[in-house]
Structure 1
Amino acid sequence: MPAAELPALPVTFRPTRTRVVLLTVGAVMFAVITVISLMLETLSPGSRVSFIFTALIFFGVLALLSRPKVVADESGVTVVNLTSRRTLAWAQILRVNLRPGDAWVFLDLSDGTSLPALGIQPGIGKAQAIRDARALRALAETHGTHAENA
């Protein structure tokens, strides 16, 4: 990817369609369960609160699933997965991988490990995930160890 096509930093990669679907389903399900619990006359107040609390937990889980993102800036990359956040310097990223069949991008790191980056996933938007992975790979090659060795 030529430098002219590199995205401007900072840039955030996230599975937008998946996020929209998850948050929409969560909000609709919360509203439906809440309305049903309020309309059922046979439920006690405690049961109604239990229904609403369950709907809130359901929405919370879907919101947690919509959290992943990858943020690239001048200093490096921040990978936000379901329950973790890790900030990497560009030099730590050796390779950005999105192989056929992978559920998300993997970052090969200089310490010999691989970090899943759930913010780029081909689930609903395969073409967008491929573009995002290529852009992140180009950024890593431009700002990372390859740039320092050139």
Structure 2
Amino acid sequence: MSDLPSLPVTFRPSRTRAVLLTAGLAIFVVITTVAMLLEQLSAGERLSFVLTGALLFAVLLLLSRPKVVADESGVTVVNITSRRRLEWPEIVQVNLRPGDPWVFLNLSDGTSLPALGIQPGIAKERAITDARTLRALAEARSARDPEQHRD
């Protein structure tokens, strides 16, 4: 298929990521600034403010982590706290139904894996396009790969 992107390709909710990282940085800067401007705070109290801001930023950074990376040999799904590598033949179906919070990958072992890197939250049309692209890649690669991997 000539309309498929060249690999590797990374799918991630860019707008959501930008919002989370911007908010995290803003929260950290505001809390740190407030801690430094409040003269009645001790050094330990200021440090606790700064650490609280850093913790909030870290949580938002973790929430911005999801992505799906497709390459020649398969797909790597990076969710909030997990990472899973899949070979193309393991992916039976790529689903993004109306109302789904993100793409679900139906796998050859009968399980389903959420792929948070493609989510229709802020950019619905982008998520639909990305899901269709990943579906087309999975269909094209899965049909071809069994012969390639049997050497």
* Alignment TM-score > 0.5, same fold: yes
Query: Structure 2 unaligned runs (5+)?
Result: none
- Report the Cα distance in structure 1 between the residues aligned to 2:129 and 2:59, rounded to whole angstroms: 28
Match of 1:79 in 2: 77
Counterpart amino acid of residue 132 in structure 1? D
What is the CA distance between 1:5 and its match in structure 2? 1.0
**Identity in percent:** 66
- Partner SS, residue 7 of structure 1: coil
Q: Does 1:19 align with 2:17?
A: yes
Match of 2:29 in 1: 31
- Partner SS, residue 136 of structure 1: helix
- Report the Cα distance in structure 2 between the residues aligned to 1:67 and 1:148, rounded to whole angstroms: 29
Counterpart amino acid of residue 100 in structure 1? P
Runs of 4+ in structure 1 over 3 Å off: 146-150
Match of 2:97 in 1: 99
What is the CA distance between 1:149 and its match in structure 2? 7.8
- Partner SS, residue 5 of structure 1: coil
- Report the Cα distance in structure 2 between the residues aligned to 1:30 and 1:148, rounded to whole angstroms: 47
Match of 2:64 in 1: 66
What is the CA distance between 1:148 and its match in structure 2? 5.4
- Report the Cα distance in structure 2 between the residues aligned to 1:8 and 1:128, rounded to whole angstroms: 18
Paired residues, number = 147
Match of 1:90 in 2: 88
Distance of aligned partners of 1:78 and 1:148 in 2 relative to their CA distance in 1, 3 Å threshold: closer
Match of 2:49 in 1: 51
Match of 1:132 in 2: 130
Counterpart amino acid of residue 128 in structure 2? I
- Report the Cα distance in structure 2 between the residues aligned to 1:33 and 1:10, rounded to whole angstroms: 39
Q: Deviations over 1:59-93 (max 9, x none)?
A: 00000000000000000000000000000000000
TM-score (norm 1): 0.96
What is the CA distance between 1:147 and its match in structure 2? 3.6
Q: Does 1:109 align with 2:97?
A: no
TM-score (norm 2): 0.95
- Report the Cα distance in structure 2 between the residues aligned to 1:149 and 1:41, rounded to whole angstroms: 68
- RMSD, aligned CA: 1.2
Query: Structure 1 unaligned runs (5+)?
Result: none
